Amino acid sequence: MYGLVALGYHITWATSRTMNFSQGHAVMAGAVVAYTVFVALGWPFPLALVITLAALACYGALVERIAVRPFFLRASPAWLLATIAVGIIAENVAQLTFGKDARAFPSPLMQKPIFVGSAGFYPQELLVPVVGLLLMGMVQLFYHRTSYGKQLKAVAWNPEAAGLMGINIPRAVMASYALSAILAGVAGVLLAPLLNVAPQMGTIIGLKAFAVAIIGGLTSAPGIVIAGLGYGLVETFTAGYISTRAREIVGFGLVILVLVLKPWGLMGDKPSRRV
């Protein structure tokens, strides 16, 4: 579940060496929009999904336009704070329009748990990693097999040269932000039935997904997905065998450990220095 959100960090990082620090809030936005269209308005689910993803693409493009581009062009790291600010604004707007209570998001996959032996799980919980792997595969294909994907990679590699080759850099960065927000939207729709929909749901998801992205390596999509699964397992086992109170200590302790041993993540590339 964290891997899916963390992929969003990877996509914009791979293109622009920037990222939306409020990726978790984009997840929240996805869940809130989907709830509004699907539950409150009662529209059919496929339509609600399309609207949600379209809305999120716009959200991502907007984040890039107002919080990243002004700073990206000047090579200023202020995008970091600006994206956090946009996330906080999004959360407060959601509180005003959606309300403050957590709401239930119905899903046919949450009706009955399936039992394997004595332990059970909801089908929805299985859907999350499956979709996560699928999307990772698609992202990989996109970057390595399509010409637009290669263009995006080129932008990350060397913006000046890519610009000279006729690639529209601002548009490429904006596209990567839209794509990243769409992934967050998918995550929001998938997680809504499990976590319930609430304006404050984004913060902790975003933070843990960021930890996962750091552990897996910001430049490596497979690394992130593997780290996402691993992080989830570590959390569950810590909670199960040690104590719930140790869970966050172990999880974020792991981040520091990885940063010390492998500063670019388990499967991340060492950044090549330009001379």
Partner 1 sequence: MRRVSVILSIVLAVALSVVGPALAQSKEPVKIGLSAAVSGGSAASGEAIKRGLQIAIDEINAKGGVLGGRKLDLVIRDDEGNPQKGVTIARELVEREKVAAVFGGLHTTVALAQVPVWQELKTPYMGAWAAGTNITRNRQTPNYVFRVSANDDYVDRFLSRYAIEVLKKGKPGLLLENTPWGQSNEAGLTKWFGEKGIKAVGVERFNWNDPDMSPQLLRLKSAGADHIVLVANAPEGAQVLRSKAKLGWDTAMISHWGISGGRFAELTGDLSEGVTFLQTYTFSGKQNERGQYVLKMLREKYGVKEPGDVIAPVGTANAYDGLHLVARALDQSGSTEGSQVRDALENLKGEYKGLIKTYKRPFTPEQHDALTDEDYVMVVWKGGKIVPVTMK
Q: In the complex, which residues of this chain contact partner 1 (CB under 8 A)? A: 95, 100-104, 106, 110, 113, 115, 118-122, 194-196, 198, 200-201, 204, 236, 239-240, 244-245
Question: DSSP label at 75?
Answer: T
Q: How far apart are CA 50 and CA 30, in angstroms?
A: 11
Least distance in Å: CB of 185 to partner 1?
A: 19
Min separation Cβ 62 and partner 1, Å: 26
Q: Rounded to the nearest whole angstrom, what is the least distance from the CB of residue 83 to partner 1 in the complex?
A: 22
CB closer to partner 1 out of 191 and 224: 191
Of the pair 70, 253, the CB lying nearest partner 1 is at 253
180, 23 Cβ separation under 8 angstroms: yes
Nearer to partner 1, 156 or 229 (CB): 229
Place of tokens 């009662």: 42
Is 11:224 a contact under the CB 8 Å cutoff?
no
For residue 110, the minimal CB distance to partner 1 (Å) is 8
CB 136, min distance to partner 1, A: 22
- The one-character DSSP state at 269 is P
Q: Considering the complex, state which of residue 111 and residue 158 has its C-beta at the smaller distance from partner 1.
A: 111
Q: With beta carbons less than 8 A apart as the criterion, state whether 80 and 87 touch.
A: no
The rounded distance, in Å, linking the Cα atoms of 268 and 224 is: 9
DSSP H or E stretch at residue 208:
helix 202-216
Nearer to partner 1, 150 or 247 (CB): 247
Give the phi and the psi of residue 145 in degrees, each rounded to 5. -115, -25
